[in-house]
Amino acid sequence: MQSSLIYFGETTTSGIGALGFSGQALLIQLVTFLLVFAVLRKWAFKPITKVMNERRETIESGVKLGEKMQKDQAELEANIAAELNKARLEADGIVVSAQDNARDLVREAETKARVKADSIIEQAKERTAQDVARARKKLEGELVGLISDATEAIIDEKVDAKKDAALIDKALKEHASA
């Protein structure tokens, strides 16, 4: 049993024609395929591959930029940590220095206060000594008057100033030695 196919005006009954293929049809399809491929390659594949390459490059540059940013961020965090540590150390130093300065100021103020208190005490002693001396002079004057009055009362006569002074000096000397 032989079958015959009509393919582009030909009738074949054996060989490749028996499978439904025709050499001429195959050649036309191959040429058509090559023309479509050439057209697609020129106007479709090249722009598509160009866009794909550009996207790949953009993605790669984005990945590189991201990696660089991560590296920069790690460096920045390390720098920030170092600066914070440095600032803490400086702050600690400033606090210690301020405490030392405060202690020195307190000691200096205490020393000045002691000196001032000693000065006030000395001034008070001097004033007291002056007050005692004034009081003694006043008492001596009053004592002279009392002695003069007592002498007049005892001897029943008025004593002149010269005799009165001699009697007072004698009485004071006796009183001071006692």
**How does residue 169 score in pLDDT terms, banded at 50, 70 and 90?**
confident
Beta-carbon contacts of 14 under 8 Å, excluding residues fewer than 6 positions away, are 2
Map tokens 């000594």 to a residue: 129
pLDDT at 127 over 70: yes
Beta-carbon contacts of 164 under 8 Å, excluding residues fewer than 6 positions away, are 144, 148, 151
Strands 5-7, 10-12: pairing kind: antiparallel
Contact between residue 172 and residue 140 where contact means Cβ atoms under 8 Å apart: yes
**Among 169, 98, 102, 97, CA closest to 140:** 169
* DSSP at 145: H
Is the pLDDT higher at 136 or at 55? Answer: 55
Express each pLDDT in 5-60 by its tens digit: 444 455 545 666 667 778 888 899 999 999 999 998 888 888 888 999 999 999 99
